[in-house]
Structure 1
Amino acid sequence: MVVTFDVSPEKEGSVLNYFYRQLTQTPAEVRGIDLGGKTAIVTGSNVGIGLECSRQLLDLGLSKLVLAVRNVSKGQAAATELSKDINLNPGTIEVWELDYASYDSICSFVERTKGLERLDIVILNAGIMATEARINPSTGHEETIQINYLSTALLAILLLPVVKSKRPLAEQPGRITITSSDTAAWAKLDERNEEPLLSSFDKPGKVDMLNRTFVSKLLGQLFLVELAKRVPSSVAVINMATPMMVYDSEINRETARSLMGKIVEVFRRRIGYTAAVGARMVVDAAVKHGEETHGQYLGLQKLKPMAPIVYSSEGDHLRSVLWRETLEEFSFAGVEDILNEVNSDRKEIL
């Protein structure tokens, strides 16, 4: 589906435009949706954006919520908090372990989802903002790229057949919403000419970790465009949304320890949204829009351009390289067979 934006990617992606939107606009509460009978999974849901997304889904009448968290005890504490002052049926909230740093954990989590009666909404929200480059001992990849891009991409693909099989006949397709960021437009992709691309992020040396976070978000946007080409919206509407700048999400818990981080935190608290307000944009993307958002990016509850490079000829090349290497990375999980299987919906329609 071709989408026409009311602003150019370059203007939307500018720093000044970002702060103007942050200062002058506030997303509305998500209302007018009944999620009764539906099941949702929210990753990174024990704090911040994920916790508030979970709260808002429950407020909309969600019947079953899976909190996917790395630390189960913290997840249980979040479940207790979410249950306060709300009348929930027993078993409405379940806490499942999910560690984005481990492919084995991701595969085990997905296997467990096959036991759900249905799966309607998935919000992939877990992420990190690190202060130093660290290599994941399990995968060999730099942690920011691993958590924010690779593990998120793997989980999105592996959940597709579950979403497809757990959808009651004649109902709307499932929804997969990935938390992203406007900072993808600010990424300095110094590795753009490297092939292989993914392993170039693992090389030793001095790394600008703030930029590395931006890069991880850009990779996610490039991936989404390619994924949406291969997955019909009749199976799942897959999109991304930004919560904008949020000051109490805890994703910046590492960076806030440094002197510069403390200074930035003062600024962030002056102009940032609360996690509850930021979460409105992610929940809106997950429950209030249709197939026009498939493979698209939303901000302030409407469609908006991704990073400018996504729409360029260079972006076309990068998407091709990234897609090929990502599928090679995930070959152990049979992702090509999964994509071929879910794509059968399109062939059947044709």
Structure 2
Amino acid sequence: MKKSYYLFNPGRLSRKDNTLKFVPTDEEGNEGQARYLPVESVKELYVFGALDANSALYNFLGQQGIAVHFFNYYEFYTGSFMPRDYLLAGKVQIAQTQHYLHTAKRLMLARLFVEGAAFNMLKNLRYYASRGTPLHTPIAQIEGLMQHIESSHDIETLMGIEGNIRQIYYECFEHIVSGFAFERRSKQPPANELNTLISFGNMLCYTLCLRQIFHTQLNPTISFLHEPGMRRYSLSLDLAEIFKPLLVDRTIFSVLNKKILQASDFRRELNRCVLRPSAARKFVEQWEERLKTTIRHRTLNRKVSYEHLVRLECYKLIKHILNIQTYKPFKAWW
């Protein structure tokens, strides 16, 4: 079974027959023990340290359909190497482009992305409110903002509503987890522990959505809520809005409430807060476990993993743009 590999140490990656050879290096350039990864077991690579590799390796990775996602020193996502778009279909791409260019069609999909995201955020808040956390006021505020989604007549207004909803939602985090203040949403750089985890988790969710889109006939550069010109794979941002509350935020609540991560797992550097490498590994372990978790799908009547839910969302979107079935955003029922 293929799986994701996370390279936290700097080093050199090369091909050796049908395996990938990774040789880690320390700050002085001294080489450590080589690690061999059978290529048939590799789904994708996440690179957090400096990586030395040549074009021959990337040609090999492309042939094997292996994506490589790059993060900088501060765990900030910088880009991806993606194999050739072997599943792209002209009919789907034309329909996807037409939905973007048609104002009403694009706005309809954008509203649905925001609706699904807001619903899943409320699902999290209601869970903790039912257990005594004082969240009734922010829940009512988000419910009020959601009433304006359908009446929004342009993307800019809709993005404003989504931003206000998410700000209220994020301010609830410090009530859900103890010992960590949220203060305000800060991204580049994240100013405190909660913002660091949110940014780190969101980037993992973004790359997850990108990988799932890659395995469908959708074009990841043509989006509906986010502007295509802002980032290269903007459709990933659209889909991530729906799944961040379920995958990222629930992982954050879990690692902090269970004390898997504590204040000592972060370090301050000038005006930013950074995850220590050991803490990033712990978070990734919990993230991978969550992706493997299965639920019984109400429509399919079989168990599917959280990871596969994202792929199913892509299929639903394809059916919508091909006028087969109206898209309905995924909404958690548990």
TM superposition score category, shorter chain reference = under 0.3
Q: Which has the higher contact order (CA 8 A, sep 6+)?
A: 1
Output the TM-score relative to the length of structure 1: 0.27
Output the TM-score relative to the length of structure 2: 0.28
Higher strand share: 2
Q: Find the structure with the greater CA-based Rg.
A: 2
